[in-house]
Amino acid sequence: MIDLRTPSEIEAMRPAGRFVASVLDATRAAAEPGVNLLEIDALAHRMINARGAESCYIDYHPSFGASPFGKVICTSVNDAVLHGLPHDYRLQRGDLLTLDFAASVDGWVSDSAVSFVVGGDETPGDAKLIATVEEALAAGIAAAQAGNRVGDISSAIGTVAHRAGYGVNLQFGGHGVGTEMHGDPHIANDGRPGRGFPLKPGLVIAIEPWLMATTDEIYTDADGWTLRSKDGSRTAHAEHTVAITEDGPLVLTARD
């Protein structure tokens, strides 16, 4: 079922968006060479507890997961693109890290992700990959206008990706957000404009392009969760929770 939120409900979702943004800001700042992924997860967990929020991940066990996730943030490194399960790994300078975080505050969920190079030493290839997912996210958000359709968002994302020379995997994409982390409609990262569910004021969605440098195929790591590029190439992912309003798209997870 697809829910449409009232203006007052969208206002009530703002604290969740601000909290998710603050956790991504804090964990990104902490992700320096030598820091363990488990330390990043612990920081996010402390912030959840301090805020009185609820994790969307720790008990999450969909059909594609081997077991409940057991952590509160996804940490995907280098060839890992989605659902990176935090484990005993110390970040190295030059690692390409994606942090993906969702939480519930006062019953409302927000979901967001960011990719960056640890230590700031971007290669040209990494810089292009990260810039492309960010451009694709911006294009998807710009297309999230009342009167458009889901396919307009998908097409905007796919156009940016293909123009930059990347393939697009359609197995995972954006989704509805509300009182739960994942809902309808599904928002593929490529598609045809003018097709799919109509975008109406009150619809709240997560838009999340993700790309791999030289493939569009993935496989599941032995941990049962982490999705990696099939050829071992680097990856990037960007995501925001966005509300469709009469005045245009409202990014609830905008970061400082």
Judged by DSSP in three states, 50 sits in helix
* 237 assigned ligand-binding residue: no
Question: HEC states along 103-159?
Answer: EEECCEEEEEEEEEEHHHCCCHHHHHHHHHHHHHHHHHHHCCCCCCEHHHHHHHHHH
* 100 assigned ligand-binding residue: yes
* 217 assigned ligand-binding residue: no
Q: How many CB atoms lie within 10 A of CB 222?
A: 7
The DSSP code for 42 is H
For residue 91, give the nearest of 78, 80, 100 by alpha carbon.
Answer: 78
Task: Extract the tokens encoding 156.
Answer: 């905007």
* 54 assigned ligand-binding residue: no
What whole-number distance in Å separates Cα of residue 187 and Cα of residue 184?
9
* 175 assigned ligand-binding residue: yes
The DSSP code for 47 is H
The DSSP code for 93 is T
* 134 assigned ligand-binding residue: no
* 122 assigned ligand-binding residue: no
Handedness of CA 21, 132, 169, 154 (dihedral sign): positive
Judged by DSSP in three states, 11 sits in helix
State the binding site.
83, 100, 111, 175, 182, 208, 239
State the binding site for substrate.
83, 182
State the binding site for a divalent metal cation.
100, 111, 175, 208, 239
